[in-house]
Structure 1
Amino acid sequence: MAKLKFGEVEENVVTREEFPLAKAQEVLKGETVAVIGYGVQGPGQSLNLRDNGINVIIGQRKDSPTWEKAIADGWVPGETLFEIEEAAEKATIIQYLLSDAAQIKVWPTIQKHLTPGKALYFSHGFGITYKEQTGIIPPADVDVILVAPKGSGTSLRRMFVQGRGLNSSYAIFQDATGKAKDRVIALGIAVGSGYLFETDFNREVSSDLTGERGSLMGAIQGLFAAQYDVLRAHGHTPSEAFNETVEELTQSLMPLVAENGMDWMYANCSTTAQRGALDWWKPFRDAIKPVVEKLYDSVVTGKEAARSIDLNSQADYRPKLEKELEELRNSEMWQAGKTVRTLRPENN
């Protein structure tokens, strides 16, 4: 295990060099990995596992759109594609990749097939961290592990196909067999991780829920909307407002940040842009930090979990979700974005 130093802080990480795919294949030889759920993470993780030579099957509700998607991706009913219960019964490792709400609903089915020596794998710490609310309490004689790719299953798969890796965290909640560490690292490598950094279920869910609601999704949409609205209110056209708010960030600047960091991106912008960014980042930080603190408190006290479980478990959840997404999709800003994207050179 390698050590990464951040000043006085050290982190344990696992790289492909010290734990190559061949080692992962050896660890997982003889295992049957059942990926339960074929929604957000399921396709990317299962296809990468399959391409890496791991014995993997899919458990999914029959005759659903995702069942048909699995067939389109090459999974064969009765051979590598099964109903959820049959897949769980066949598995030695159950990758529980349903949504948090669906995990609660399906848990009784999964629980009865967690026989001694099996492993229960998550890509999110939600179900275990909030087990008093979710009811997901594994038996003591199975391994409980986590690999959480730091991105969507779509990104995980795209980067794998490109020969790259998406960084992931890993955690061990319960080591019943003495093999949990080898199992979790092997699975992390086999699903396509660039490197793996150590965490625990509680820290994973606290950072993940904060990130999703903060800089990754919620806060950035709020920032986009605020800046776009101000520019439009002062007479800028939709195209100009969108380009200055979203397009330049995502297409030009974020790739520079990803390549070498924010300071390097600053150094590759005009001196006027540098000066303005250096002057204004701290006022933005000071304005936003109290909101992030409030958000983090809501996460660690379980308020966010309770709200998610309550709303996402309601019978009319999907129609309500679609209505909210439709409002976002039909906003002028994202309609402008739809038009702008058609004008990119690669689309012409």
Structure 2
Amino acid sequence: MSATIYTDSDADQTALDGRVVAVLGHGNQGAAQAANLRDSGIEMIVGNRDDEYLAPARDAGFAVFSIAEAARRADVALLLIPDEVQPSVFAEQIAPGLTSGNTLVVASGYNVAFGLLDVPAGVDVVMVAPRMIGAAVRTRYERRVGYPCFVSAERDATGDALRTALAVAKGIGGTQAGAVASSAREEAALDLFSEQAIWPAIMSVFQTAYQVLHAEGFSDEAILNELYLSGEPAEIFARVARSGLLGQLGLHSQTSQYGQLRGLGRLDPSELARRFTGVLRDDILSGDFAREWSAADPERRLAELRAHAEQHPLAAAERALLAEQP
């Protein structure tokens, strides 16, 4: 199934003419998107609480207000604070300032997809979600190099929601390489799936590999450098992004290619498929994870999970090797 791809020619920045655009949260994404929008000629203000991001926003020359005041002044409000605090901050400080005809822009579909934001009637809700860290959103904009971006119109109260979304996407550089028509549900599900299925599987592979190799008498230094401390996997993933998963195989020796493809053919993916399907359907799409995370004490629960993970022998070996590095 293919999706519509929007490019610069599909986006009309006049959709933002005469409208005040506010970035709410001048963190990693907020700082990058605010700078890009301003450089694209869009009237910008910033809303931020009194924290470590406040001074950099002022130093960058933005008119900075409290989050509540910026939301009240804005016609288009970009919600760029962390997912876990969005529902309470939105209800208490942002929603009261939004009026009919305004646009709420989210960069993560999570809280929209799971119904955790009570957006006032008459307000458009759109998603402009860069698939790139904030620093790269800025540097790629400056170099005029595109990056992947998801866009959607989640609520079209005015009839111009998608037009506004594409204008914002173009303003931050998100249509230069093509913005993918998506949805908050799709963006959130894919993001959560990567976090809860793919990366845990990768971490488990490394942990298990360490245990097997360590039991056979190989040194920690050799094992961990072979697995990832050398940085080789990062180089491989960079090549995958340019050449594809199989395309990058040509950069390896024939012995390596033969071993990788032979091993791939011997794996039984059925158990992994069952695990991944369960995560997607039972944890993510069902809303169970969102309900659990909303009810949790984030700092305490994260500390518990991290403490448990740190008990694995791989973690101890990794700490020892990293401590020896210059």
Q: TM-score, normalised by structure 1?
A: 0.81
CA shift digits 1:203-247 (9 cap, x unpaired): 2211221122233x4333333333233333333333322222123
Name which of 159, 162, 172 aligns with 1:191.
172
Q: 2:295 is matched by which residue type in structure 1?
A: D
Q: 1:245 is matched by which residue type in structure 2?
A: L
Partner residue in 2 for 1:66: 53
Q: Assess if the C-alpha contact under 8 Å between 1:238 and 1:332 holds in 2.
A: no
Name which of 156, 160, 182 aligns with 2:163.
182
1:190 to partner: Cα distance: 1.5
1:101 to partner: Cα distance: 2.2
Unaligned runs of 5+ in 1: 1-8, 343-348
Partner residue in 2 for 1:308: 293
Q: Assess if the C-alpha contact under 8 Å between 1:130 and 1:302 holds in 2.
A: yes
Matched pairs, number: 317
| RMSD, aligned CA | 2.7
Distance in 2 between the 1:156 and 1:341 partners?
31
Pair 1:209-2:192 in alignment? yes
Partner residue in 1 for 2:133: 152
Q: Assess if the C-alpha contact under 8 Å between 2:3 and 2:182 holds in 1.
A: no
Name which of 251, 262, 267 aligns with 1:268.
251
Partner residue in 1 for 2:73: 90
Q: Percent identity?
A: 26
Specify whether residues 71 and 213 from structure 1 end up closer, same or farther in structure 2 by C-alpha distance, changes over 3 A only.
Answer: farther
Distance in 1 between the 2:208 and 2:181 partners?
36
Of 30-39 and 181-190, deviating more is: 30-39
Partner residue in 2 for 1:5: none
Partner residue in 1 for 2:212: 230
Pair 1:143-2:143 in alignment? no
1:279 to partner: Cα distance: 2.2
Q: Assess if the C-alpha contact under 8 Å between 1:173 and 1:201 holds in 2.
A: yes
Unaligned runs of 5+ in 2: none
Distance in 1 between the 2:260 and 2:217 partners?
23
Write the mapping of 1:1-348 to structure 2, written as runs, cut at 5 A.
9-16=1-8, 18-19=9-10, 23-24=12-13, 26-62=14-50, 64-71=51-58, 74-76=60-62, 80-108=63-91, 109-131=93-115, 134=116, 136-193=117-174, 194-215=177-198, 217-246=199-228, 247-282=230-265, 283=267, 285-297=269-281, 298-311=283-296, 314=297, 317-318=298-299, 321=302, 331-332=315-316, 334-335=318-319, 338=322
Specify whether residues 329 and 42 from structure 1 end up closer, same or farther in structure 2 by C-alpha distance, changes over 3 A only.
Answer: farther
Q: Assess if the C-alpha contact under 8 Å between 1:35 and 1:96 holds in 2.
A: yes
Detail structure 1 runs of 4+ shifted over 6 Å in the superposition.
326-330
Q: TM-score, normalised by structure 2?
A: 0.86
Q: Assess if the C-alpha contact under 8 Å between 1:58 and 1:75 holds in 2.
A: no
1:265 to partner: Cα distance: 1.0
CA shift digits 1:112-165 (9 cap, x unpaired): 11111100111122222211xx2x122331111001111332332343344322
Distance in 2 between the 1:149 and 1:307 partners?
26
Of 261-270 and 222-231, deviating more is: 222-231
Distance in 2 between the 1:195 and 1:333 partners?
43
Name the SS for the 1:95 alignment partner: strand
Name the SS for the 2:204 alignment partner: helix
CA shift digits 1:295-322 (9 cap, x unpaired): 10110001111122122xx3xx336535
Name the SS for the 1:148 alignment partner: strand
Q: 1:92 is matched by which residue type in structure 2?
A: D
CA shift digits 1:163-203 (9 cap, x unpaired): 32220111111112222111101111222223211112222
Q: Assess if the C-alpha contact under 8 Å between 2:69 and 2:97 holds in 1.
A: no
Specify whether residues 249 and 222 from structure 1 end up closer, same or farther in structure 2 by C-alpha distance, changes over 3 A only.
Answer: farther
CA shift digits 1:32-62 (9 cap, x unpaired): 1111123353222222222322222221112
Q: 1:310 is matched by which residue type in structure 2?
A: A
